[in-house]
Structure 1
Amino acid sequence: MMISLGPYASFIVTSYAAAAVVVVILIGWVIIDYRNQTERLRELERTGISRRSGRSGTKLR
């Protein structure tokens, strides 16, 4: 079943393809940034700096 997109078919297909490429790039960017951030956290924890969320039962006041 083929859908007729009319005279603007190339514009429509190109627009959807460009949007898909942008979404894939953003997903890749988020994955790479997540890996970089977790590695930075591991390095900081190795040097003795701990996260506040890692403290259990500690009051801030």
Structure 2
Amino acid sequence: MEWKMESFDLSEHGINVDWVMRNPDPSILYEEAIRYEPGASISDTGALIAYSGEKTGRSP
């Protein structure tokens, strides 16, 4: 997949990051989860299995 760089500023919301992945394809989300989330896997029906642990809950 080819990534297109564009200006995207979230600083007015208190979010300051160097890079944002915006609206990626589901296949990219699966790949990122498998690569970076310990224990993440894909079920025999194709569902992504991941343990969210401390990241659950609502943001303010």
Q: TM-score range by the shorter chain?
A: under 0.3
TM-score by length of 2: 0.22
TM-score by length of 1: 0.22
Name the structure with the higher helix share: 1
Greater RCO (CA < 8 Å, at least 6 residues apart): 2
Name the structure with the higher strand share: 2
Larger Rg: 1
